[in-house]
Amino acid sequence: MARAIHLAVEAARKQARALGHPVLASAVLPVGRLDPSAAFVGALSWPVHAPGPSRSAPGWQRFALAAGDEGPTIIGVGAEWTLTAAGDARFEEIQARFRRLVEVSTILRDGNGDLRDGHGDGHPAATGIVALGGFRYDPHRSPDAAWQQIADADFMIPRFLLTIPAGPEPALLTINLAVSASADAGLTASQAASQARALIEAISQGLAPQPPEVSQAPPPAPDDGARRWLRDDGADRWLHEVRLAVEAIREGRLSKVVLARALDVEAPGPLDPGRLFEALWGQCPGCARFALSYGGMWFIGASPERLAAVDAGGQVRSMALAGSTGRATRCHEDEALARALFDSPKERHEHRLVVDALREALAPLTESLQVPGTPRLLRLASVQHLHTPLAGRLRAGISVVDVVKALHPTPAVGGHPKAAALEWLRGHEEFDRGWYSAPIGWWDAQGNGDFWVAIRSARLEEARATLFAGCGIVADSRPESEWEESWLKLQPMLRVLEEGWRRGRIERTREPGRGHLPLRA
């Protein structure tokens, strides 16, 4: 391992001398089979080593996205290089900066001893130079203090990148190193190889998290204590905003708007991210699990909604996810809920708005596009959704970031028309969403990429977690029903917190402004 890294670093050092600035050396090496869940938990708990010169403190530390059968598990540890952009041009700017990094400043080396340019043609997807991160939900919204540290577009090139395929193929480790003209190639390679071996050993010796021993029956949502919140100040304000949204829709100013709420949960001591990751992996089957560590903040979740996936051949996939109902413990009751969801004019209308918007946004970017005429059912632990997959072939020169720009925010997390819904939310929603319901994911130098909508998520800081949920409001929405639906959507992350902490119970209490759940030991 050290020799391969040394050769890559030495080549990068020579190029850095010629260019007059640091460049990125990237070595891609096979590491055998790794269990995705053990790697997810182990790598995210492993100490982050010193970053490269391009990173601003405190900045990026870790990123992980496990798409299950839908794609590889991607785990990045330590930021060796960072890329940021701001404002409405953030999509174009972040692509341009990534392209310059790849084309001008990168040496790529594979395990066979062949030097390649930054594009890394022939390498598997999500290896080599891969950007990990996300885009803020709305760059025109003044950020809350908790989100202020992240840029409108914020990505890292990790020092260590694990790519674990969904199939039987071996995992690959990419080691990215920022190399200056004065770098000691031998010392740099030796230190990186030692750190990489320690990372792989820690993961290989770890045990995969076990699924929680809990009933598959969904919990009631909300319970009697939570129902009392309908009369407190926080609930009253949110319900009032729902009524204002319905009024705006009935007046023709909007067709739909997605109104979100935040819920604070407080523990008796600092949160243990490792325990929460174990619970996150065991919970939420059928979703893409993600975890981002930035400065002193963690953002974790399990999203059922893919925004855009693109492969190097130009195939694109997206999905419409809108229209929701709960789950029942008995099979016939669960089927009755599903039938009611399919037969509901309100839910079908809300879903159709999303499908039509995605089709309209993707049409100019694609040569062909397949959209089923009838939605399917996506069943999760506590909620079931109407779901329509979209697939097609992109026109030449269109990237996954171009697709993300065209789609975000979809009517499933913003509203319709897009601009009017965003403007309405800026005037009525009480908090800055930051990364909540925003695109998070990755893309590589070969043209592959995968972005998910960061819903069913929580922001973690010290002893506090902030959970988020949103509801699509249309003309015949009922505020009390939307409030209860928001509780359904909060359940997955509440279960993760309860399972992760493994203590006591959550007691719901009233707090003016927003719901607040202290955790009693």
Phi, psi of 251 (to 5 degrees): -85, -5
The strand pairing partners of 155, in sequence order, are 83, 133
The four Cα atoms 124, 127, 128, 130 give a dihedral, to 10 degrees, of 130
Q: What is the rounded distance in angstroms from the CA atom of residue 261 to the CA atom of residue 51? A: 36
Name the active-site residue from 256, 482, 485, 489: 256
H or E element that contains 356: helix 345-362
Q: 215: left (phi > 0), else alpha (psi -120 to 50), else beta?
A: beta
Q: What is the 3-state secondary structure (H, E, C) of 237-250?
A: HHHHHHHHHHHHHH
Q: 417 preceded by cis ω (within 30°)?
A: yes
Active site residue 367: no
Read off the amino acid at residue 61.
Q
DSSP state of 145: G
The pair of structure tokens assigned to 253 is 């100013």
d(CA 9, CA 4): 9
Strands 297-303 vs 366-370: parallel, antiparallel or unpaired: unpaired
Q: Distance (Å, rounded) from C-alpha 5 to C-alpha 161?
A: 14
How many whole angstroms separate alpha carbon 150 and alpha carbon 226? 33
The active-site residue out of 10, 80, 305, 350 is 305
Active site residue 511: no
H or E element in which residue 452 lies: strand 449-453
Residues in CB range of 420: below 8 A, 6 or more apart: 253, 254
Which candidate, 297, 281, 229, 234, places its Cα nearest to that of 262? 234
Beta pairing, strands 23-32 & 106-110: parallel
> Annotated active-site positions, please?
256, 305
